[in-house]
Amino acid sequence: MFELIQVSEQSYYIQSPAKIGLVKLGGQDVCLIDSGNDKDAGRKVRQLLERNGWHLKAIYNTHSNADHIGGNQYLQKQTGCKIYAPGIDCAFTRYPVLEPSFLYGGWPCGDLRHKFLMAQPSDAQELTQDVMPEGFQIIPLPGHFFDMVGFRTPDDVVFLADCLSSRETLEKYRIGFIYDVAAYLNTLETVKTMQARIFVPSHANAAEEIASLAQYNIDTVLEIAEKIVDICKEPQCTEVVLQRLFTDYGLAMNFEQYVLVGNTVRSYLSWLKDTGRLSARFENNMLLWQRV
């Protein structure tokens, strides 16, 4: 873990639970794409930088999930680097309590206020094209999270953040986190058409070809949507839909999984209602979903 892997003349990634991109900018200067999941990850990255005599200029966050910004605060304090994050995710990076609050839909209990869902705050500025190093391209990748982006480096390496999961992860858990199902599917269709020297997803193997994995992710989303519609052949409340999915897919319910999968399932229900496949009504002061 935390092995440095070179994929082109300028571009590397650090093997970690969520891959960290590292790109040489010239001389001893480098930038990071994301920073790992916690202070310990940041410390290991700093040690790697020191071993290679590199100077960290900036961290470019793809989005604000804790496993991507967890090393921000430590690295910023140690190196003085600038930090940039896109759109709404910049606010989440500055005020990380927003993530568990958003996931839960209220003030998060202590079981949700931990480093896996709530990073330490960092002094992030909004990511725009004019703050990027020369030759870098920002790639909008909405769907998984609010304003998530990826990056194309000057030597044609594309970092894809969390816009797709590995086959192994989907086969084990089936339901990956999605905030906006329609945007997520559109993003995957776009990714299918991309060409690059190599693609580096955060939670799948780096690969020269990405279209087949993108299609597998699309197929999995559509499978889950069909399952939800089938569950709702009779009127069901959200909690019953969630319970059935956990049971049918062999998932174990705890606070973390409840908010991650629950948030995703509510996004599916919204999308299915907006596309005319489910109806919603209130009966006996309960919201019920039913197949149209």
Q: Nearest-5° angle of CA 276, CA 280, CA 284?
A: 170
The CA distance from 248 to 177, in Å, is 17
pLDDT digits (tens, 9 = 90+) for 115-133: 999 999 999 999 999 999 9
Q: How far is CA 202 from CA 31, 149, 272, 289, in A?
A: 16, 12, 28, 34
Pick the CATH number of 4-133 from 3.60.15.10, 3.40.190.10, 2.40.128.20, 1.10.10.10: 3.60.15.10
Q: Is the pLDDT of residue 1 over 90?
A: no
The CA distance from 110 to 11, in Å, is 39
| Strand 124-126 relative to strand 137-140, pairing | unpaired
Task: Give the pLDDT of residue 207.
Answer: 98
The CA distance from 292 to 282, in Å, is 16
Across 213-227, average pLDDT:
98
Across 265-284, average pLDDT:
98
Average pLDDT, the chain: 98
Let me know: does 120 contact 96? Beta carbons within 8 Å: yes
pLDDT digits (tens, 9 = 90+) for 45-88: 999 999 999 999 999 999 999 999 999 999 999 999 999 999 99
Residues in the chain: 292
pLDDT digits (tens, 9 = 90+) for 242-269: 999 999 999 999 999 999 999 999 999 9
pLDDT digits (tens, 9 = 90+) for 6-56: 999 999 999 999 999 999 999 999 999 999 999 999 999 999 999 999 999
| Strand 20-26 relative to strand 11-14, pairing | antiparallel
Q: Is the pLDDT of residue 218 over 90?
A: yes
Q: What is the CATH number that goes with domain 231-291?
A: 1.10.10
CA 133 to chain centre: 23
In the chain, which residues fall in CATH 3.60.15.10?
A: 4-133
- Contacts of residue 42, defined as CB under 8 A and 6 or more positions apart, other chains included, come to 35, 36, 70, 71, 72, 73, 74, 75, 78
In the chain, which residues fall in CATH 1.10.10?
A: 231-291
For 252-279, b/e burial (b = at least 16 CB within 10 A) is eeebeebbbbbbbbebbbebbeeeebbe
Q: Is the pLDDT of residue 96 over 90?
A: yes
Let me know: does 83 contact 59? Beta carbons within 8 Å: yes
